Amino acid sequence: MRINRQDGTVQILDYDPAENRKKIAEAKRAYYDAHKYCPKCGNKNHGQTYMACIFHLGEPFADENRFDCSCGHSGIVDELVAGL
Ligand SMILES: [Zn+2]
C-alpha cells in the first residue's frame, strides 16, 4: 500500500480490498494447513474453542484457541502440526 500526500490529500494508490481479502484468506489457509493435527497422536478430530483471532497481513499470527484431543492432549491451536 502506498500513500500519496501531494497537494495535501491522502490517497491510497494501490489498495484493492478484494485482493487484500484474497491474500488474507490465502495466508489463513496456509496457517491452518500447517496447524491441523494433534502434535502427540496426529489426530485431526479435536474439540476447539472458537474465539475470533484477528489476522493482519505481514504480522505474526498465532491462533490461541484451545483444543482438546481424544488422546488426552490439549493445548492451543498454534501448537497443532501439519502432520506427523
Ligand atoms: Zn492427540
Vertex 26, ends 20 and 27: CA angle to 5°? 90
Mean per-residue pLDDT pooled into runs of 10, the chain (84 residues): 62 78 91 94 86 82 93 95 89
Quick one: pLDDT at residue 42? 95
- 7 Cα to the center of ligand 1, angstroms: 59
Q: Which uninterrupted H or E stretch holds 47? A: strand 47-48
pTM of the model: 0.74
- Residue 47's nearest CA partner among 64, 31, 69 is 69
Residues near 21 by beta carbon (within 8 Å), at least 6 away in sequence = none
- 66 Cα to the center of ligand 1, angstroms: 13
Environment of ion ligand 1 (residues, CB < 5 A): 38, 40-41, 43, 69, 71, 73
Quick one: pLDDT at residue 33? 93
User: What is the C-alpha end-to-end distance of the chain, expressed in Å?
Assistant: 39
